[in-house]
Amino acid sequence: MSRFFWVRHGPTHAKAMVGWSDIPADLRDTAKIARLSAHLPENALVVSSDLVRATATADAIATGRDRLPHDPDLREIHFGTWEMQGFDHIEDQDHVRAFWDQPGDVRPPQGESWHEVVARVDRGVTRLMAAHPGRDIIAVAHFGAILTQVQQALQVGAYEAFSHKIDNLSVTDLHWDGARWHAGTINHIP
């Protein structure tokens, strides 16, 4: 059995849609980071997206665990021209509502659709599982990337997956039994 422990990166405090912008995480709460690290399996491999908020979080919780190279397939949703804008500041409100209310093929201008995010993250997970069969993997990633995997484990639609809260520095553990994913805890805060 393979287990993935999905950790959402530390908070950025941004009040906008942050996708591929490379902004740092606030990792000053060292006690919370220590609790998070202690909660995770000691012999797990650690991987993260290549964005600094994820790489710095992964480095902070790695504490002696083997660290894999950063993986761009674990990045957040690419929000295109909506990047770093508040929801209410986007001119085409019908388009942005459709993106969140009917996730699937709707994409932000110059960004990616939900289905494209799912395919990208799935590609990364498949590659990691093939390279490290049966190993526990701590994957430090982003809200959208984590929800793609929650969607599969719960076998729900994208809209239902979006109903799950994924807090910063939370853990979502998913288990692969050889045929399908199963959800352990979602959004656990140690």
Q: What does the pLDDT read at residue 163? A: 92
Domains along the sequence of the chain with CATH: 2-183 (3.40.50.1240)
At 46-102, the pLDDT tens digits run 999 999 999 999 999 999 999 999 999 999 999 999 999 998 999 999 999 999 999
For residue 50, what are the β-bridge partners? Answer: none
Q: For the segment 108-163, what is each residue's pLDDT rounded down to a tens digit? A: 999 999 999 999 999 999 999 999 999 999 999 999 999 999 999 999 999 999 89
pTM, whole model, 2 decimals? 0.96
Edge-to-edge strands of the sheet including 136-141? 45-48, 136-141, 2-8, 171-176, 181-183
| pLDDT at position 169 over 90 | yes
How large is the average pLDDT for residues 40-46? Answer: 97
Residue 47: per-residue pLDDT: 98
CA distance 92 to 103: 16
Given a cut of 80, whether residue 1 has pLDDT beyond it is no
- Higher-pLDDT residue of 87 and 106 is 106
Q: 28: helix, coil or strand? A: coil
